[in-house]
Structure formats: structure tokens, C-alpha cells
Amino acid sequence: MIFVVLVSILVFMSVFTYLNLKPSGTYDVYRTKIVYDYNPEKFDNALKNGKPTLLEIAADWCPYCREMVPTMITLKEKYGSEFNIITANADLDREVVRDYQVRSLPTLVFFDKEGNEVLKLIGFQEKEYLERIMEEIIIK
């Protein structure tokens, strides 16, 4: 009896995977692409343009970084006119990793309107939490 149940579960999972079906409201984190837009000149300009800045440091091999992609897209859509949001590749932009002492990914570094670092977060962050932080930085 247990064998039949296990085989049934394996068959169901195989079909589910083969058809690339996902439970409602989810996405395939392993197929999510991170869009990197960091370059030193763009970042320097962002820190000097009078708007707060969020620097995300991520990597393609990091599942939490890929899981943050929908959140970062939403934040760019919602706050793009009030906040500079830039994503750096931890594997290619080594000076950023060194300068901000990145030890784990993703790392999110927030800067105020004057370009001063005000907060660093490490690891996956919920969208609502990031929105509260961004609202507080915009108000200051």
C-alpha cells in the first residue's frame, strides 16, 4: 500500500515537472533572470542626483537573489521616479563587493539623498519591509 502511494506521488510529481506546471501564484526561480544595470559612472551619478539610492548586489547562481527579482521589479515600477535602484553583479563588479564588504547575497545597500550609506540588509527581504524602508528614506 505504501509503495503504491509513493509511486503515485512520484508519477504525479514527474508529470507536474514535465509539463512545467507551477502552483498558482508562483514562478520558477531557476529560470528567473536578474537584470544587472550597474556601472561605476551610473552609480556615481545616482549618488549625486539628489534622490535616494538602493544598490542591490546579486549573482545568477544565488537562488535568493533570483527570488528577489519580482520584488525588485515592483520596487522599480513603484519608486523609480523617487529612488535610484541599481543592481550589481557580485561576480563581475568585484570593486562593489570589496567596497561594501559583501559577505552574503543578496546584499541591499540604501543611500540617502546626499549619497550617504544609511542601511545594509543581507539576504532575502520581503517587499513590504523594503517599501517601508524606502518610504522612510524618501520622507527624510
Q: Compute φ and ψ for 122, nearest 5 degrees.
A: -125, 135
Catalytic residue among 65, 68, 102, 134: 65
CA dist., res. 2 & res. 11, Å (int): 14
Can you name the residues that pair with 87 across neighbouring β-strands?
Answer: 56
Catalytic residue flag (residue 62): yes
Q: Which burial class, exposed, middle or buried, applies to 72 when counting CB atoms under 10 A from its CB (0-12, 13-18, 19+)?
A: buried
The secondary structure element, H or E, covering residue 2 is helix 2-18
Dihedral of CA 61/62/67/71: which sign? negative
Q: Which of 62, 69, 88, 109 is catalytic?
A: 62
Quote the CA–CA distance of 2 and 8 in Å, as a whole number: 10
Q: Just list the catalytic residues.
A: 62, 65
